[in-house]
Structure 1
Amino acid sequence: MSGKWKITAVSIASIVLITVNIYLLEKKESKVERTVLVENWIKVKKDTITDTIQTNGVIKPVEEYDIYFDTKKNDFKKFLVKEGDAITAGSSLFEYTTTELDAQKADLEAEKTAAEGEIAGIEEYIGKLRSYQATLTSDSGIAGIDESVEKNLSIDLTTSSTDLIKSSFEQEIYKQELEKNSLNEKVKMLDAKLSSIEEQSNAIVTTSEADGVVKNINKNLNNPIISIVSINMGIAGEFSEEEMKKAKVGMTIKASYSDSIKALKGSIGRIHSYPAEEPSLKKENKFPFQALIEPEGEETEPLLVGSKVDLTVITNEKAGVPSVPIEAVHYQKQPYIYKLTKKGYVDKHYIKKGLKAEGKQEIIEGPSVGDVILLKPNVAVKNHSNFITPIEFEKVKVATYKKFTSREKVRYLLLGILEK
């Protein structure tokens, strides 16, 4: 009989429990209906949020200089460097002679010959004048004088006085001496130019305008005849179309590669606005870029050209801002989060979002740093609901339990069962 009584008692208790459950769940404004089990919560933190582009790159020289040679106007002699040579600004690269100099030399020599001929003519003329002048006496005129000489004197030798004739000869000799001196100076100038051309004709040397390394020498004399790369290293890569919308010149970069534990730092120095290949509908366009690497001192090992790097481009960064995990943000017409109040309620708070990256969401307007929010509810949550949390047995103390009244014990036990 006692066994049947126990079965009957258990059955009655079960029916009562189920009935109470149904009643409480169906009753409007039921306390149980509005109680949320909160298993995951987190505090709003002051954090740094960094938005980045993750891509790849390769170590390459920052600049490349091309040297050209005009084979139509010049005659090449020899190279003075080899591929792979390290050079400095002013280093000799190659020698050549120029056909233009030969033409200039011929013109100058012809001009010099003409000037020397004029000097010889003037000297001969001055000699005649001095000879005629020596025969001049006070009693007689000059006999048998050349018509050209008489014409240059601009006087009538038959009617002019002896003193006037002497004066005319002296003036003409002085005039011719001045002309001779002028031509002598011209010959000296032409000799200087010819001497300079002679020196240049022996070997004209082309020099480098910057420090670097000789990358390529074209022995067939096709241009560029020499290519020089700078000693400063950078990182070359390509952005996708989506990355191009975020990337800008000047953005900070960090790069890591297998040969070094220490990360490289720098910034984006150049972004090409035209794709690396002709635009096509069949494939995504890629836009070349170049990142500059900050020098880190003389102790840093030189970077190996061609080394592959993992590149991080920092497109946006905010430090010390309120942030929550992105899964804590919910959406209807506006984004909102659930805040857990000290009075035991779950309240909906609309927020104004800021930067989102790395699984974090910046809060510009909304709960403050230190506020507790619901991370990810297991069920739909109504605004201003009560909440309970799982028992942390390591924090449960018998002394605290004894302080509850019998009614409170039954109430909390029932709430726990119904929530489960």
Structure 2
Amino acid sequence: MKKWTLVILLLLSVSLVGLNGYLISNKGDTISRTMYITDWEKAKTGDVIKSFSTKGVVVSSAKEDVFFDGEHKEFLRFLVKVGDKVEAGTPLFEYRAPEQEQLKASLEAEITQKEEDITSVERYMNSLRNYQVRLPDSNGELENRDYEIEEKLNIVGDNITSDMISSAITQEIFKQQLEMDRLEAEITKLEQELNSLQSGGNQAVLTEASTVAGTIIKLDKTLTNPVVTLATNNYSIEGKLTNNELQKVETGMDVRASVQGVKEELETSLTQVDDYPIEEPTVGENSFYRYQAALTEPSDSIAVGAKADVSILTEQANQVTTLEESAIQKGKKPYVYQLTKASKVIRKPIQLGLSAEGKVEIVSGLKSNDVVVKNPSEIHVDEKSYFASKMHPLDISWSSFTAFSKREWLELILIGLLEK
């Protein structure tokens, strides 16, 4: 009995060894192409952003000049000094106006004109908001474009996106709101002057008030206009670009900035890019070009002169399928090795989009959570290739077993038995 048992075991061993030898020697066989995969990764949904870094400094976005008409008014005295911080409505200097009736008519005419200007600004802001609402999502195709508005926003170029237009509109609405605030402050100031004239008689002392908040940086005591100059409290980041960097940027592009003294990263966009050098061009010298990015979010911790590390985002693909560049075999027809649920390794052609910092946008061929080989150059795959990977028994659940069909179970058991 023992003799027959030994004979049977010997025959089974020889048969198994022979079968494995045959399958290994047969290049077209499944078992000869089973691979042990240790490194893989999943395609993810994320952003691919191409950018470059530069330096900047916080500056006042604008200066406000205040003028004095000495022909019909008598200057009395300044009420502020250089370095003073003022709010809209703060009196700057005093004066008298002998010809009051003429001045009253002039003030009333100015008030009417400012009110018409406010109406015009409101109409423009409404047209901007209406266009912004019509814009498609980040990846949508631009249709029914309003080229008149885009021209006013200085949006030009071949690679215009809805995100760029929307960002430029947000910046423009912010600037127009500042303009409307300035006009309303001027109307308040003119109405105060008018009330003073009407109640003060011929010798009324009038004041000229600031229309904006800011810091006094200049007083001209000789009364040469402008007699007062303020730096406004509206800040921008200003810096310079090389000629190569200038070719990459357009107004409206998103900007990320880390500003000295501010904890959070600030988000804004380019509001101005000069195409003429800061200094006169010289043979043999590099030229630099000024850029500005308005800071629309007020912050008490932002100070004029603070240094900033700036990233200008030149191209963006938002919420798209992405993959690490190392997982892609590039060429005329790029592809990846995808790992399927049936333990097969397949060569999958893909279409590439934007790439930056080792990450690539996958336009087609893969979707988020698809699994691919991380280092495809290290393996060889044909249409019958299978893969095996390290087992993690603690991660196994009952749902893992029910996920396979009977046919898939049979294939996996045979692969496991015959794996060399």
What is the TM-score when the length of structure 2 is the normalising length? 0.53
1:325 to partner: Cα distance: 1.3
- Residue 216 of structure 2 corresponds to 214
- Residue 155 of structure 2 corresponds to none
User: Contact 1:42–1:375 at 8 Å: present in 2 too?
Assistant: yes
Structure 1 CA distance for aligned equivalents of residues 24 and 58 of structure 2 = 69
SS in 1 for 2:418: helix
1:366 to partner: Cα distance: 0.8
Structure 1 CA distance for aligned equivalents of residues 375 and 386 of structure 2 = 13
Sequence identity (%): 28
User: Contact 1:38–1:377 at 8 Å: present in 2 too?
Assistant: no
Q: For residues 373 and 213 of structure 1, do their structure 2 counterparts lie closer, same or farther at Cα, with a shift above 3 Å needed?
A: same
Which runs of structure 2 are paired with 1:322-337 in the superposition (5 Å)? 322-337=321-336
- Residue 43 of structure 2 corresponds to 44
The amino acid that maps onto 2:279 is E
- Residue 152 of structure 2 corresponds to none
Which runs of structure 2 are paired with 1:293-304 in the superposition (5 Å)? 293-296=295-298, 300-304=299-303
1:227 to partner: Cα distance: 3.7
- Residue 360 of structure 1 corresponds to 359
Q: For residues 406 and 39 of structure 1, do their structure 2 counterparts lie closer, same or farther at Cα, with a shift above 3 Å needed?
A: closer
Q: Deviations over 1:42-76 (max 9, x none)?
A: 222222334444333211111024568999xxx99
Q: For residues 409 and 315 of structure 1, do their structure 2 counterparts lie closer, same or farther at Cα, with a shift above 3 Å needed?
A: closer
- Residue 351 of structure 1 corresponds to 350
Which runs of structure 2 are paired with 1:16-415 in the superposition (5 Å)? 29=28, 34-66=33-65, 81-87=80-86, 210-217=212-219, 227-279=229-281, 282=284, 284-296=286-298, 300-377=299-376, 379-384=378-383, 386-392=385-391, 394=393, 411-413=418-420
The amino acid that maps onto 2:241 is F
Structure 2 CA distance for aligned equivalents of residues 254 and 229 of structure 1 = 24
- Residue 190 of structure 1 corresponds to none
The amino acid that maps onto 1:291 is A
1:230 to partner: Cα distance: 0.7
SS in 1 for 2:263: strand
Structure 2 CA distance for aligned equivalents of residues 395 and 412 of structure 1 = 23
The amino acid that maps onto 2:271 is G
- Residue 405 of structure 2 corresponds to none
Structure 2 CA distance for aligned equivalents of residues 349 and 407 of structure 1 = 26
SS in 2 for 1:327: helix
Structure 2 CA distance for aligned equivalents of residues 283 and 24 of structure 1 = 68
SS in 1 for 2:279: coil
Cα RMSD over matched residues? Answer: 4.9
Structure 1 CA distance for aligned equivalents of residues 51 and 395 of structure 2 = 45
Structure 1 CA distance for aligned equivalents of residues 395 and 367 of structure 2 = 30
Structure 2 CA distance for aligned equivalents of residues 378 and 293 of structure 1 = 47
Structure 2 CA distance for aligned equivalents of residues 65 and 325 of structure 1 = 51
Gaps of 5+ in 2: 1-16, 97-201, 402-409
1:340 to partner: Cα distance: 1.7
The amino acid that maps onto 2:337 is Y
The amino acid that maps onto 2:378 is V
Number of residue-to-residue matches in the alignment: 286
Structure 2 CA distance for aligned equivalents of residues 391 and 338 of structure 1 = 18
1:41 to partner: Cα distance: 1.2
Gaps of 5+ in 1: 1-16, 98-199, 414-420
Q: For residues 77 and 326 of structure 1, do their structure 2 counterparts lie closer, same or farther at Cα, with a shift above 3 Å needed?
A: same
Pair member with larger Rg: 1
Q: For residues 243 and 33 of structure 1, do their structure 2 counterparts lie closer, same or farther at Cα, with a shift above 3 Å needed?
A: farther
Structure 1 CA distance for aligned equivalents of residues 413 and 56 of structure 2 = 70
Structure 1 CA distance for aligned equivalents of residues 344 and 213 of structure 2 = 71
Structure 1 CA distance for aligned equivalents of residues 311 and 411 of structure 2 = 58
The amino acid that maps onto 1:271 is V
Structure 1 CA distance for aligned equivalents of residues 339 and 238 of structure 2 = 50
1:283 to partner: Cα distance: 5.3
